[in-house]
Amino acid sequence: MLLFSLAHFVMTPLDVNRVESFITRWQNSSGNERANYQMFFAELCDALGVPRPDAKGSVVDDPYCFDKDVKIFHPSGKVTPGYIDFYF
């Protein structure tokens, strides 16, 4: 479980600039999820000053990636493959 407190988080002028630049860039996006989601999340990571996701398959079990493979368990007992757009 990831636990953290924002009580000690202070944005520097550089942080503010990164976040404002991100908002400016994306505020008029057409919202086309399939076309934009990976770029949006990668740039959101940059704006927040956190690492971008790893390349899929580069880390065992892909704990932080785009298009995370998952198994979908149906009430019938059938299991089918699926994916999650962004997994952390």
Q: Tell me the pLDDT tens digit for each residue of 9-68.
A: 788 899 999 999 999 999 988 777 778 889 999 999 999 888 999 888 898 988 888 888
Degrees to nearest 5, angle at CA 21 with 66 and 35: 35
Higher pLDDT, 48 or 4: 48
**pLDDT at site 32:** 77
Residue spans of the domains in the chain: they are: 13-52, 57-88
Contact by Cβ (8 Å): 83, 70: yes
